[in-house]
Amino acid sequence: MNPARRCSALLNQLCVSSRGGPAARRQFQPGGVSAPAGPRYCHPGVGGVGGGGVGGTKPQVKPSGAPPTGATPVCPMGSNGSSSRLFGTLAQSLSSAPLAQPDLYSDQSPDQGPDREGLAAADPDQLLRECEEALQRRPARPHRDLVYPSGPAARRHDHDPSIRVMQWNILAQALGEGKDGFIRCPLDALNWQERKYLILEEILTYRPDILCLQEVDHYYDTFQPIMASLGYHSSFLAKPWSPCLDVERNNGPDGCALFYRRSRFSLLATAHLRLSAMMLPTNQVAIVQTLRCRATGRRLCVAVTHLKARSGWERLRSAQGADLLQNLRTITSRGGEAGQSAFPLIVCGDFNAEPSEDVYRRFSSSPLGLDSAYKLLSSDGQTEPAYTTWKIRPSGESCSTLDYIWYSHDALSVETLLDLPTEEQIGPDRLPSYHYPSDHLSLLCDVSFREQPHRLM
């Protein structure tokens, strides 16, 4: 089967895999007004886009688990979207042997884990077109520009290709439908039948080299097989006591997932961490992978995490952050001076902490030399955005900056950032919505290795 027909089979199964079939795809705005139809926004140059992506150039820029048993149902929700026919021909490859979940909270050998190699390659352009076709009744995603934080003149053209990094809390399906209480978001806007297309469309539009996700509860049946078919290696780590398990007909626990493009990187080591606070294990986790860039031969350490949520847990978040930093110092200091990183580090996550919290200060003052990429959007380069999440719950409206991409500022430079949508683009009912699948906005930046001192001699 050629890649185009295979993509069609894969996404046709996605289309019918949850609550009803194509006839069920009626879209409504709050108040019963039909959602507008028409062409969807697609970032300029998405065909073959990406930092080291699949064929083509980046968009133009402007200056500036397997389900657990024994879960106790508490909250009802809609169908979780599983289907014996899910993904068509791809499902046949997966059914030959089950995906084995790796040992939790321990180091893995390189290129081991729940990946399935040997799957036929999917055409990302075809997948993107079919996502857009499936979503044509929904309003367009907010337009977001890629911007140069230091102006276009600062971009260098003679160095190795930049690395595109995406960070995103995608909103666990069980939580969105069953527990989170987004009172201004119609339940129909959250059904997995189409919401998964919105998530995939966002990823396929920007085609990151490294993708860090939180609140992933459809890893094994959706993200792992699709991303593997697109050439990504992945690793998943569930929360020990995921709140998704309190939701009736859940799809298993949510957790963190880390994907990297095999054509850009080889895997040197993986650590699955269960974060501790005051020497006691907590319910939050992190994945840390050491990669080698195939273009440069240089090493890069990438981590993804999701810290404890809600007000009143600031001290726990701080302790979790301290534990993660200590693990990162151990992992990255091998071969370097005491307390110093021997190779660059990128840490992505939903920290559930605003910049005023202690865990933020821990990261910004760490001996690892980390800085927050999205501060570069501000005029002074020192201020975080006004929000990375904006939602309305029964308790009120919440507009906060909780998500970050931290990077080693002495070893890496940030070339471009994906700007954040305006309040008008987000809309009065906030997030999630018919045009955006999560209550958190995706963050994305292109980074490049700074020249090593010996290369300048």
Phi, psi of 291, rounded to the nearest 5 degrees: -115, 155
What's the pLDDT score for residue 57? 37
3-class state of residue 328 by DSSP: helix
Can you tell me the distance from the alpha carbon of 333 to that of 335, in angstroms, rounded to the nearest whole number? 6
Q: Which H/E stretch holds residue 353?
A: none
What's the pLDDT score for residue 342? 82
438 to 94, 180, 199: CA distances (angstroms): 28, 11, 8
Q: Are 370 and 345 in contact (CB under 8 A)?
A: yes
Q: Which H/E stretch holds residue 51?
A: none
In a domain, 51, yes or no: no
In a domain, 163, yes or no: yes
In a domain, 323, yes or no: yes
In a domain, 40, yes or no: no
- How do the pLDDT tens digits run along the chain, 457 residues long? 554 444 555 555 544 443 333 333 323 233 333 343 343 443 333 333 333 333 333 344 444 434 344 433 344 444 433 332 333 334 333 333 334 444 455 444 444 444 555 567 899 999 999 999 999 999 999 999 999 987 765 555 556 789 999 999 999 999 999 878 899 999 999 999 999 999 999 999 999 999 999 999 999 999 999 999 999 999 999 999 999 999 999 999 999 999 999 999 999 999 999 999 999 999 999 999 999 999 999 999 999 999 999 999 999 999 999 999 999 999 998 654 444 568 999 999 999 999 999 999 999 999 999 999 999 999 999 999 999 999 999 999 999 999 999 999 999 999 999 999 999 999 999 999 999 999 999 999 999 999 875 544 4
In a domain, 258, yes or no: yes
Domain residue limits at 353 = 110-456
In a domain, 37, yes or no: no
In a domain, 100, yes or no: no
What's the pLDDT score for residue 37? 38
Can you list the alpha helix ranges (DSSP code H) found in 267-416? 314-332, 358-364
Can you tell me the distance from the alpha carbon of 102 to that of 20, in angstroms, rounded to the nearest whole number? 34
What's the pLDDT score for residue 52? 39
What's the pLDDT score for residue 56? 36
* Chain centroid to CA 314: 24
Q: What is the CATH number of the domain that holds 265?
A: 3.60.10.10
In a domain, 380, yes or no: yes
Query: 298-328 burial by CB neighbour count: b if 16+ within 10 A, else e?
Result: ebbbbbbbbbbeeeebbebbbbbbbbbbebb
Can you tell me the distance from the alpha carbon of 178 to that of 78, in angstroms, rounded to the nearest whole number? 8
Can you tell me the distance from the alpha carbon of 385 to that of 370, in angstroms, rounded to the nearest whole number? 17
Q: Are 290 and 269 in contact (CB under 8 A)?
A: yes
Can you tell me the distance from the alpha carbon of 76 to that of 2, in angstroms, rounded to the nearest whole number? 41
**How many distinct structural domains can be found in the chain?**
1
Nearest to 429 by CA among 189, 220, 200, 235: 189
Token duo for residue 77: 């929700």
Percent composition of the chain: helix, strand, coil (DSSP 3-state, to 5): 25, 25, 50
Q: Are 318 and 358 in contact (CB under 8 A)?
A: yes
Q: Are 257 and 216 in contact (CB under 8 A)?
A: yes
